[in-house]
Every structure is written in structure tokens, then in C-alpha cells.
Amino acid sequence: MKWRRLNGNKIELPLKQAVENTLREETNKGYRLKVCIGTDSRVKSDVVEFATVIVFLREHRGGFMFISNFKQRRVMSLKERMINEVAKSVEVAYNLCDLFDRYNVELEIHADINTDPGFQSNSALRDAMGYVMSMGFVFKAKPDAFASSCCADKVV
């Protein structure tokens, strides 16, 4: 996966190293951090476009994010797409969780899944929640899942 910042600057370092450098810099500046990871997708014909974001929140001082976009040429059901979004977020979180533990950074996985049963995405809620929580991560869904439903949504 290739990563960039919101301003378009490419992240040349391997992701884990870039995240560790970021955590070190922000911690040295005295910021208390929280990280939220989320993925959103859009269907265009037989291609599903995904965006995964790592949102770094500085307590009372705003935030910034790393972004990765990728595509899959495949037709999939809505539920399958929602689970794929969550799986991408979990994959990124799993590869970075030791850093977050080392720097004492709170981590949440955000899913662009509606908690209202009146919405189709709700069909994936229980599966997604079970998956994320069984991996030991904090799970957030709409309306509390801003990393996926706002941040990733804007860059997909």
C-alpha cells in the first residue's frame, strides 16, 4: 500500500517507520495522541475504490491523517464490501498496534456501518463488530466513526 498525507505529499518511508517517527515527534512536542483507523469505499461499475486513513488526533490541538487509496476489480455484495473495509482497517491496525502500545496511544477502528437497522449497511454490523473486538481493538460505527464516514469518505 502506498501512503500520502492530505496535502498530497507521498510518504516515502515504510508505513511502520513513518508512523513511529510521527508518534515520536508528536510525543516529544508534548501532545497526547489518539489514533483512529477507518476505510470507506465506492463502487464504479465493476471496480471498488477503497480509501484507508490513519487519523492522528492531538488532544485539544487538531489532527492530521495518512491516506492510502487502492482499487479492486470485483463485484461484491454490500455486506462483503463493508467487511472488506473493516478488514483493511484491522490489517493496518494490527501491523501498527505494537507502536501504539509502546507510545501509549489509544487506538480505535472506525467502520462506515450504520447502527440504524433501517440502513442496508447495518446487515454487516454484528460481523464487523465481532471481528474488530475479537482482535482486541475498540470498535466504533456510525455516527461515531468519523475516520471512515468523514475522513476516508472525502478521499475515496
131-155 pLDDT per residue, tens: 999 999 999 999 999 999 999 999 9
12-22 pLDDT per residue, tens: 999 999 999 99
Quote the cell numbers at residue 68: 492510502
Domain 4-155 sits in CATH at 3.30.420
CB-count exposure of residue 12 (10 Å: 0-12, 13-18, 19+):
exposed
Q: How far apart are the first and last CA of the chain?
A: 14
Boundaries of every domain in the chain: 4-155
Neighbour count for residue 49 (Cβ, 10 Å): 14
Quote the cell numbers at residue 87: 478488514
Q: What is the pLDDT of residue 74?
A: 85
35-58 pLDDT per residue, tens: 999 999 999 988 999 999 999 999
Per-position b or e across 107-130, b if 16+ CB within 10 A of its CB = bbbbbbbbbeeeeebbebbeebbe
What is the pLDDT of the chain when averaged over all its residues?
Answer: 96
- Is the link from the previous residue into 14 a cis peptide, with omega within 30 of 0? no
59-100 pLDDT per residue, tens: 999 999 999 999 999 889 999 999 999 999 999 999 999 999
